[in-house]
């Protein structure tokens, strides 16, 4: 019912998830992450506890692969599940149960795992993989979104489109990027629009927020001046409308 990518950036240490599906509010169910630990998408017939337990196990020092084996042992319905994991060292692991609705499958590579079920075809995942591999010069959030766009263009969920999400963690307990489109006729395109607005209006503010080790810094004067304006008067970035 879903296609997603979980990934790690070896340059920044960021981990993140991009995901889309044809049910509402995928961002409330599937993506999980923790700075310095890893990122996860739990999907098909979703079991959030697989992701919650997996993050705790990776925080204790287990790799993505060992973690996946451990959490699946706790799930009597694992053949209905699909889960992709990447840890903070870039190792990935993935499971697609035999009872996931077809087309279902997954792909792995250095620092990423791509997975999907109830898809038009395997080309969705192949397109996502090509996009991610070819965009190494970009920041992780952009790479994840480009991969999601490629997957949608290649077919995506065979039932249609409804929601999408992008979540990236860097150093803090809160995400560096956390964008959701909960119900829309073209959610990946809408996520791109929101992403471009957030790039100029939100991210400069988030970058100055309090950290684990300090009170943070005020946003630059030009950012504060911009945010003092009514939303319709602010710059909205590429594709922002």
Task: For residue 236, name the pLDDT band (cuts at 50, 70, 90).
Answer: confident
Q: What is the pLDDT of residues 84-103, one digit of tens each?
A: 999 999 999 999 999 999 99
Query: Is 193 inside any structural domain?
Result: no
Of 216 and 171, the structure prediction assigns the larger pLDDT to: 171
What is the C-alpha separation between 41 and 1, in angstroms, rounded?
13
pLDDT digits (tens, 9 = 90+) for 26-61: 999 999 999 999 999 999 999 999 999 999 999 999
List the Cα angle 143/149/155 in 5-degree steps: 140
In a domain, 220, yes or no: no
Q: Of 20, 28, 42, 53, which is closest to residue 162 (Cα–Cα)?
A: 20
CATH of the domain at 122: 3.60.20.10
Number of structural domains found in the chain:
1
By residue range, what is the domain housing residue 90? 2-186
The predicted model gives 201-215 an average pLDDT of 89
Does residue 203 belong to any structural domain of this protein?
no
Domain membership of residue 195 (yes or no) is no
- Choose among 153, 212, 147, 141: nearest CA to 177: 141
From the list 133, 50, 127, the residue with the least C-alpha distance to 93 is 50
Q: Is residue 197 part of a domain?
A: no
Q: What is the pLDDT of residue 240?
A: 57
Q: Where is 39: in which H helix or E strand?
A: strand 38-44
User: Does residue 228 carry a pLDDT above 90?
Assistant: no
Asked if residue 37 is part of any domain, the answer here is yes
Q: Would you say residue 138 lies in a domain?
A: yes
Per-residue pLDDT, 239? 66
């Amino acid at each position: 019912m879903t296609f997603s990518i979980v990934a790690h950036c070896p340059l920044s240490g960021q981990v993140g998830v991009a995901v889309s599906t044809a049910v509402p509010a995928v961002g409330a169910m599937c993506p999980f992450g923790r700075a310095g630990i890893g990122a996860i998408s739990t999907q098909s017939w979703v079991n959030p506890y697989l992701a919650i337990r997996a993050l705790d196990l990776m925080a204790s020092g287990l790799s993505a692969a060992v973690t996946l084996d451990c959490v699946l042992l706790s799930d009597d319905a694992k053949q209905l599940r699909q889960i992709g994991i990447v840890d903070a060292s870039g190792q990935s692991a993935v499971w697609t149960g035999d009872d996931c609705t077809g087309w279902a499958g997954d792909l792995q590579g250095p620092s990423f795992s791509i997975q999907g079920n109830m898809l038009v075809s395997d080309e969705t995942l192949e397109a996502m993989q090509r996009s991610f591999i070819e965009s190494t010069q970009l920041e992780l959030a952009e790479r994840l979104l480009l991969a999601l766009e490629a997957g949608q263009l290649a077919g995506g969920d065979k039932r249609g489109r409804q929601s999408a999400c992008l979540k990236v963690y860097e150093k803090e307990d809160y995400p560096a990027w956390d964008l959701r489109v909960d119900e829309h006729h073209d959610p990946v395109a809408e996520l791109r629009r929101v992403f471009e607005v957030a790039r100029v209006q939100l991210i400069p503010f988030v970058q100055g927020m309090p950290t684990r080790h300090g009170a943070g810094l005020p946003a630059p004067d030009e950012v504060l001046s911009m945010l003092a304006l009514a939303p319709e008067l602010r710059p909205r970035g590429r594709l922002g409308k």
